[in-house]
């Protein structure tokens, strides 16, 4: 099987990542409100999910302080140790939670993040949301201090608008530090970053987009279109317009095309969707699907085993343009 899993730099940094990493929100163990989004995964399953991700060629993992108040970070570290990975063998991205906090909290809490992920270093430290009591300028300036102290290797942001991303980039640029990434929702069913200026600004500044919810919470797989009974047990997703009857009708034509392409390439619908996401914009976009089952990991890693033709990527672009 040909390997299309070529490493690419995250922004203008030397952090070389696989086009797909593993999102680790689901390792939160229901420890806090953010953790309640997912069922509790047992340690054995977390260990297996991480091991299979590594076997499938993924080299980076994205977690956050808010994911179970450090529970996800600790579970990830434990699983990587169980897989025999040494510090430096893999790349880890985590995030500082800004709500009800000032930029000064970044320095105060970094040792907790380092301890939670120990013995693995923090390769990418991100401001999780643009919701802090301090400005984004103050927050990335505080991140720059950690960078200079070598407590973190690279700096990113998450959920930042084009304007705030540029503002953060400017602060770091003056210090000679690249802004590596902006982590935002992006999928075939959510292409808003293409019309609100975020993607264009990222390309202009040389910042990578890390796409979260790259499968639109499972909707692009077509399973909910095929079996509406599944909609009874979708938790928080039931509040999304995409999962309501009109939303399902709106995406049906796109899902039909995704299924046709999956049959053509002999892959799954989620693999077609992920492949489009990480290739359509050149090297700008990388994705972090999650996984709560072993089968999900195989879906994720298999998305890098082929490449959609330019013609087929354009077909998907055209059919999903209504979601811009």
Give the CATH number for residue 76. 3.20.20.100
Q: For residue 298, what pLDDT is reported?
A: 95
Q: For residue 229, what pLDDT is reported?
A: 86
Question: For 207-242, how does the pLDDT look when each residue is reduced to its tens digit (9 = 90+)?
Answer: 999 999 999 988 999 999 998 888 887 777 777 889
Q: For residue 101, what pLDDT is reported?
A: 97
Residue 259 lies in a domain: no
Q: At what angle do helices 310-319 and 245-265 cross, to 10 degrees?
A: 170
Strands 16-17 and 8-9: what pairing?
Answer: antiparallel
Residue 85 lies in a domain: yes
Tell me the C-alpha distance between 186 and 195, whole Å: 12
- pTM of structure: 0.95
Residue 68 lies in a domain: yes
- Number of folded domains that form the chain: 1
Residue 244 lies in a domain: no
Tell me the C-alpha distance between 243 and 245, whole Å: 7
Owning domain of residue 22: 8-216+269-309
pLDDT along the chain (324 residues), means of 10: 77 98 86 60 89 97 94 96 98 97 98 98 98 97 98 98 98 98 98 98 98 93 89 78 90 97 98 98 97 92 96 98 96
Q: For residue 5, what pLDDT is reported?
A: 66
Measured torsion, CA atoms of residues 196, 10, 186, 315, in degrees rounded to the nearest 10: 100
Q: For residue 1, what pLDDT is reported?
A: 42
Residue 260 lies in a domain: no
Residue 81 lies in a domain: yes
Q: For residue 245, what pLDDT is reported?
A: 87
Q: For residue 287, what pLDDT is reported?
A: 98
**Phi/psi at 317 (5° precision):** -60, -45
**Phi/psi at 95 (5° precision):** -140, 145
Q: Which residue has the tokens 């998450």?
A: 158
Q: For residue 30, what pLDDT is reported?
A: 66
Residue 303 lies in a domain: yes
Q: For residue 302, what pLDDT is reported?
A: 95
Residue 45 lies in a domain: yes
Tell me the C-alpha distance between 132 and 138, whole Å: 10
């Amino acid at each position: 099987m040909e390997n299309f899993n070529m490493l690419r730099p995250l922004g203008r940094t030397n952090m070389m990542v696989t086009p797909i990493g593993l999102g680790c929100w689901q390792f939160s163990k229901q420890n806090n409100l953010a953790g309640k989004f997912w069922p509790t995964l047992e340690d054995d399953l977390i260990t297996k999910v991480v091991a299979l991700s590594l076997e499938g060629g993924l080299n980076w993992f994205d977690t956050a302080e808010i994911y179970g108040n450090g529970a996800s970070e600790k579970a990830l570290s434990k699983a990587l140790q169980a897989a025999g990975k040494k510090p430096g063998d893999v790349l880890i991205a985590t995030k500082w939670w800004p709500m009800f906090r000032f930029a000064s909290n970044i320095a105060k809490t970094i040792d907790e993040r380092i301890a939670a992920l120990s013995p693995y270093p923090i390769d990418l430290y991100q401001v999780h949301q643009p919701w802090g009591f301090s400005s984004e300028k103050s927050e990335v300036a505080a991140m720059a201090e950690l960078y200079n102290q070598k407590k973190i290797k690279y700096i990113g942001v998450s959920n930042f608008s084009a304007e705030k991303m540029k503002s953060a980039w400017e602060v770091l640029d003056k210090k000679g530090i690249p802004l590596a990434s902006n982590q935002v929702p992006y999928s075939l069913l959510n292409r808003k970053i293409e019309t609100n200026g975020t993607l264009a600004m990222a390309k202009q500044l040389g910042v990578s987009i890390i796409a979260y919810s790259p499968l639109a919470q499972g909707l692009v797989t077509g399973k909910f279109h095929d079996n509406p009974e599944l909609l009874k047990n979708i938790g928080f997703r039931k509040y999304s317009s995409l999962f309501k009857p009109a939303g399902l009708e709106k995406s049906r034509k796109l899902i039909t095309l995704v299924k046709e392409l999956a049959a053509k390439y002999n892959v799954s619908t989620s693999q077609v969707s992920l492949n489009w996401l990480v290739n359509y914009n050149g090297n700008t976009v990388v994705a972090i699907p999650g996984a709560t089952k072993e089968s999900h990991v195989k879906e994720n890693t298999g998305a890098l085993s082929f490449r959609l033709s330019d013609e087929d990527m354009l077909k998907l672009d055209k059919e999903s343009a209504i979601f811009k």
